Structure 1
Amino acid sequence: MTKFALPLTVLAAALLSACSMAPTYQRPAAPVAAAFPADTAGAGAKTGFASVQAGPGQKDAVDTGWREYFSDPRLQQLIAAALDNNRDLRTAALRIEEARAQYDIQSADRLPNLNANAAVTKAKTPAFLSPTGQTTIGKRYDAGLAISAFELDFFGRVKSLNDAALAAYLATDEARQAAQIALVAQVAQAYYTERAYAEQYALAQQTYEARARTYKLTQQRAEVGASSRLDLRSNETLMETARAAALTLARQRAQADNALTLLVGQPSSQAVAGAAAGAMPSDQQIDLLSAVPTGLPSDLLTRRPDIRAAEQRLKSANANIGAARAAFFPRISLTAALGSSSPSLGGLFDGGSGSWSFAPQLTLPIFDAGRNRANLTLSEVRKNLAVTDYEKTIQTAFREVADALAARDYLGEQVAAQRAVQDAQADRLKLLQLRFDNGVASSLDVLDAQRELFSAQQSLVQARLLRTTSAIDLYRALGGGLK
């Protein structure tokens, strides 16, 4: 046997081990309707379903970067800081490195591991065993290259395990992308929530100051007998109600800022550099945010990284079935060595000192108390679980898009209706104030109008916030926010 015979034999055996016993992968059918449900009062009323495609100059959500989608400079800085500092996203990135290392470890089993070794052996032979009848002490020096227990993957066990590790790595990478999309949306929603509380707080503070002035005037009138004690207490109640609302909103705003700090990974004041505090987007800006084309449900299979991650986990489970099936068949491994041996260190590389060994091993499972059968059953059950998880992920994505579309259809009208209520309440207050000044209306009517106007103003801010967050939800649900 020449010195090249052993490597050629191992290489040929490795090339022959190319078959796989894993089931042929087929993507499960999407368990959702062919189109998203539409508002029965909207453009899809005739069919009951909506499918909006990108028109000229429009981009799909997945092609619209978050810097392009969110124009507020302060929000852009907060999102950029969150992508750098958020601990959940950092954990997801480390999970990718972990999965990549596990894949590299598994991939190493597909090639023989070649080791260099050197050894010295010193042994004592008793006199009764020695050919000379005397006790002897012998030495032996060995040096060479060795391949230990390299499995010839005739039935694809190692390949299936490698494919499973690769799919798990790809699933982890997709999960990080999904975490990034979710983080972008969470930061935007937390930012606009804090801005909404700030706007409501400003309204409450202005209302409190106005009512405090009215209370002082009423108190002065009551001291001279021009107002009743009932009017005084009613004005005091409205003033303290506005004060309590302002304090509540101040607390909620501080808590919203704390939530934003957690997402960004550092205080929001440190994350922004010179950018002035923004405001809630206008109706026109929200219209632009909500104008993202929706496409078809089948588009989500390629747009949403969480769906792609679920499919990769399904592929990993499918490959593990191949490894479990291969365990029923013989396992052939090779152990080989090529080197030199000598009783003295100086003669280790002299002519005629070459040595080699070649030890193939065949392992055939005969009785394992049902271990291999249980492993195969476990792999099949895990694949069925992965199928269910994949289908549930698609259904969840479909529901999220449908919910966002429903919100887009209705919240615009809700904001318009709430603004009409506010305008009507403001006009009503003016008229009642005029009637009160002329002695026609009572002070209680004016106080009631003030209370309802304040409630309408707060409700309008909440409706605008709902519409803004629904636009962000639609952007995220369609796969936007990755770039």
Structure 2
Amino acid sequence: MNMNQRSVLRDGRWRRRVLCVAWLSSALSGCALIHHDTTPYTEIAPEQINLADDIHLARDGWPAARWWTRYGDEQLDALIDQALANAPTMVIARTRVAQARSDVELVSAGTGLQVVALALLDREHVSANGFLGPFAQNEPALGLTGPWYTEGVVGLGASLNVDLWGKQRAQVAASLGVSNARLAETSAVELEISADVAQLYYGIQTTYQLIDLLNELHETAEFAVQAHEARAARGLEARTLLEEARAQQLAVERQIVSAQTQIKQFRESMRALVGAGPDGLPAIEPVALPRSQAALPPALSYELLARRPDLQAMRWYVESSFDRIDAAKAAFYPSFDIKAFFGVNALHLADLFTHASQQINLIPGLYLPIFDGGRLNANLGGAREGSNLLIEQYNQAVLNAVRDVAQTGSRLQALDAQTELQKQRIESIAFTRDSVEAHYQRGLTSRLAALQARQPVIAEQVALLELRGQMLSQEIALTKALGGGYRAAAPVELKPR
């Protein structure tokens, strides 16, 4: 080999190296630039997830699963079970979960190998002035039978996206996050329905007892009307007392009608909540109100986050937004895919399935996002701002959850103190009633006076009943605020990216 040949060889190697380096440099620098990416917001500090020191109840602890069974009421158990099975809101929640799972399957399907079978028949007139101009001639000796051809293609096509930078993995993770959020939302709907059913049920039971007390009050008012009517007829007293007694009787009757209407409204609300037809709601028999069993844990902190299904759902949405940010960042880098075809291809159908018509294509592809008009940066910015918005919504939801627990706990404290004071008040007023009753038994006063002495006691018993009803309502609200026995097996940990 002479010097000139060696020089040419060295020049050729040098050119190939330069081209290779240039190609690698283009590939590495070919990705679009991230012009701006804001700092992710932070989640709420743990010291803000707690109650004031002066809020506490006689019992402590978290609600248990199926918390409503602690009241030992079979009617309530049956109503809540019926609601959880048939309520339209539950059907909607389950449908949203199924939809999210389908979305996960759809996104996951795009990450694997795609294979399709294809068949193509093309009857074509070749242009003599086009790229295939020579084939427009009819020269059988040269293998040209134009200008008409019937091309056939049969085979298998395949494609595979190589996820070098984790874009597809991030998209799958984002869809899984949404699916997990929908599952937590289903638990939140279950808690909402069970609490609403319990509230309505004990609203009905409280009103039943209110009607019983009003009936007692009506009996005394009715006897008073009869007594004053008889005395007025004999001229022993003015008719004014009779009209006052009748007005009191009518007021009590109006309260009874109002209470009966309230029960009907409660039943209709219950029927709509349960999803029952006109005759689908069983009769609700009166039962005694249960004793208060409200309990408040000594500390909340991160345990509240794990026990509130709505907060867990929001955490999953936030985590999903982080995965969408990862996918948006990965879109800035080169993407790589491989396409392949194996089959037969012929200009004449008679030659289609011959050995000479076999065709194999293997096409690796590299795509470099260089100029995109700002689309990738806009996509990243939207993903980041959407994530920050979710973080702030989550932080506010946590503060609202702590507020709900604190307010409900303080109301229960106050109601408990008011109930004890009301019981003492009834005892004091009952002393006067018992004294007048004793005078009546000895013949020292009239039956009218004895019955009228019962009225203040009954009125105070109505006030006590209202307090007990409010305590039950707030106890159920506290159970709901504490998550109703829900507990995430592995609470999601937020890791902003």
With the shorter chain as reference, the TM-score category is 0.7 to 0.9
1:117 match: secondary structure:
strand
Deviations 1:14-38 (A, max 9, x none): xxxxxxx999999834454464334
Q: Which residue of 1 aligns with 2:138?
A: 132
Whether the 8 Å CA contact 1:294–1:478 is kept in 2: the answer is no
Distance in 2 (CA, whole Å) between partners of 1:320 and 1:411 is: 48
1:147 match: secondary structure:
strand
Whether the 8 Å CA contact 1:31–1:391 is kept in 2: the answer is no
Deviation at 1:324, TM superposition (A): 1.8
* Matching of residue 264 in structure 1 with residue 274 in structure 2: yes
Deviations 1:401-456 (A, max 9, x none): 2233323433223222222323333433454577798579x97x986x66543432
Deviations 1:325-384 (A, max 9, x none): 223233333332121224555654433332122334433333333322222221111111
Match of 2:157 among 146, 167, 187: 146
Distance in 1 (CA, whole Å) between partners of 2:374 and 2:98 is: 36
Q: Which residue of 2 aligns with 1:253?
A: 263
Match of 1:174 among 173, 181, 184: 184
Alignment of 1:303-342 (within 5 A): 303-342=307-346
Tell me the amino acid that sits aligned with residue 112 of structure 2: L
In the superposition, relative to structure 1, how do residues 165 and 388 fare at CA in structure 2: closer, same or farther (>3 Å)? same
In the superposition, relative to structure 1, how do residues 368 and 127 fare at CA in structure 2: closer, same or farther (>3 Å)? closer
Distance in 1 (CA, whole Å) between partners of 2:208 and 2:88 is: 27
1:110 match: secondary structure:
coil
Q: Share of identical aligned residues, percent?
A: 25
2:341 match: secondary structure:
strand
Distance in 2 (CA, whole Å) between partners of 1:194 and 1:42 is: 26
1:244 match: secondary structure:
helix
Q: Which residue of 2 aligns with 1:95?
A: 96
Match of 1:36 among 45, 51, 69: 51
Q: Which residue of 2 aligns with 1:68?
A: 69
Q: Which residue of 2 aligns with 1:202?
A: 212
Deviation at 1:132, TM superposition (A): 2.7
Distance in 2 (CA, whole Å) between partners of 1:253 and 1:320 is: 50
Distance in 1 (CA, whole Å) between partners of 2:72 and 2:336 is: 63
Whether the 8 Å CA contact 1:334–1:358 is kept in 2: the answer is yes
Distance in 2 (CA, whole Å) between partners of 1:211 and 1:373 is: 79
Whether the 8 Å CA contact 1:418–1:460 is kept in 2: the answer is yes
Alignment of 1:7-406 (within 5 A): 28-33=43-48, 35-39=50-54, 52=60, 60-61=62-63, 63-66=64-67, 68-125=69-126, 129=133, 130-132=136-138, 135-148=146-159, 150-266=160-276, 270-272=280-282, 277-283=285-291, 286=292, 289-291=293-295, 293=297, 296-343=300-347, 348-406=352-410
Distance in 2 (CA, whole Å) between partners of 1:40 and 1:249 is: 34
Deviation at 1:281, TM superposition (A): 2.3
Distance in 2 (CA, whole Å) between partners of 1:231 and 1:480 is: 55
Tell me the amino acid that sits aligned with residue 142 of structure 1: V
Distance in 2 (CA, whole Å) between partners of 1:248 and 1:90 is: 35
Deviations 1:164-203 (A, max 9, x none): 1110111111011111011111111110011111211222
Whether the 8 Å CA contact 2:162–2:335 is kept in 1: the answer is yes
Whether the 8 Å CA contact 2:40–2:384 is kept in 1: the answer is no
Deviation at 1:117, TM superposition (A): 0.9
Deviation at 1:387, TM superposition (A): 1.1
Whether the 8 Å CA contact 2:49–2:402 is kept in 1: the answer is no
Show structure 1 runs of 5+ residues with no match: 1-20, 44-50, 54-59
In the superposition, relative to structure 1, how do residues 280 and 472 fare at CA in structure 2: closer, same or farther (>3 Å)? farther
Distance in 2 (CA, whole Å) between partners of 1:174 and 1:479 is: 11
Tell me the amino acid that sits aligned with residue 332 of structure 1: F
Whether the 8 Å CA contact 1:211–1:238 is kept in 2: the answer is yes
Whether the 8 Å CA contact 1:142–1:339 is kept in 2: the answer is yes
Show structure 2 runs of 5+ residues with no match: 1-33, 140-144, 488-497
1:479 match: secondary structure:
coil
Distance in 2 (CA, whole Å) between partners of 1:126 and 1:469 is: 85
Give the total of aligned pairs: 440
In the superposition, relative to structure 1, how do residues 139 and 24 fare at CA in structure 2: closer, same or farther (>3 Å)? farther
Q: Which residue of 2 aligns with 1:453?
A: 457
Distance in 2 (CA, whole Å) between partners of 1:261 and 1:122 is: 67
Q: TM-score, normalised by structure 2?
A: 0.79
In the superposition, relative to structure 1, how do residues 276 and 162 fare at CA in structure 2: closer, same or farther (>3 Å)? closer
Distance in 1 (CA, whole Å) between partners of 2:260 and 2:156 is: 74
Tell me the amino acid that sits aligned with residue 102 of structure 2: A
In the superposition, relative to structure 1, how do residues 66 and 24 fare at CA in structure 2: closer, same or farther (>3 Å)? farther
Larger Rg: 2
Deviations 1:244-297 (A, max 9, x none): 11111111111111111111111596344xx861424243xx2xx324755533
Q: CA RMSD in A?
A: 3.4
In the superposition, relative to structure 1, how do residues 116 and 328 fare at CA in structure 2: closer, same or farther (>3 Å)? same
Q: TM-score, normalised by structure 1?
A: 0.81
Deviation at 1:307, TM superposition (A): 1.3
Distance in 2 (CA, whole Å) between partners of 1:414 and 1:269 is: 40
Distance in 2 (CA, whole Å) between partners of 1:229 and 1:450 is: 23
Distance in 2 (CA, whole Å) between partners of 1:67 and 1:290 is: 12
Q: Which residue of 2 aligns with 1:5?
A: none
In the superposition, relative to structure 1, how do residues 202 and 462 fare at CA in structure 2: closer, same or farther (>3 Å)? same
Distance in 2 (CA, whole Å) between partners of 1:83 and 1:42 is: 30
Distance in 2 (CA, whole Å) between partners of 1:196 and 1:380 is: 51
Whether the 8 Å CA contact 2:207–2:263 is kept in 1: the answer is yes
Q: Quick check: 428-437 or 393-402, which moved more?
A: 428-437
Deviation at 1:78, TM superposition (A): 0.2
Distance in 2 (CA, whole Å) between partners of 1:126 and 1:323 is: 47
Deviation at 1:74, TM superposition (A): 0.5
* Matching of residue 467 in structure 1 with residue 471 in structure 2: yes
Q: Quick check: 172-181 or 159-168, which moved more?
A: 159-168
